[in-house]
Amino acid sequence: MSGPWISGVQISRTAKGQTPVADFYCGACRTHRRVTGRDKVTDFMRANPITDHRATCRPTNKKGTTST
């Protein structure tokens, strides 16, 4: 990852024939996940990482706070 990146999924490959890389970053809880390889990136994107992460993302449940 280079430059400012707020959140979401970024898929990159610098040239034809190189290994694709998918990065997922959650701006709320700052979770980062990287997947490399054509098959793994394809499976990762089919799993819809943004929607899947929303179920477990708890930015309001930080240490020292309570939820009501």
Length of the chain counted residue by residue: 68
Per-residue pLDDT reduced to its tens digit, 1-56: 556 667 899 999 867 888 999 999 998 888 999 999 999 999 999 999 998 898 88
Give me the pLDDT at residue 54, please: 86
61 inside domain: no
Give me the pLDDT at residue 68, please: 47
48 inside domain: yes
CA–CA dist 61, 68 (Å, integer): 10
Structural domain boundaries, residue 31: 7-56
**Tally of domains within the chain:** 1
19 inside domain: yes
Give me the pLDDT at residue 49, please: 92
* pTM of the predicted model over 0.85: no
Give me the pLDDT at residue 42, please: 93
28 inside domain: yes
62 inside domain: no
Say if residue 1 is exposed, middle or buried (CB neighbours under 10 Å; 0-12, 13-18, 19+): exposed
67 has which bridge partners?
none
64 inside domain: no
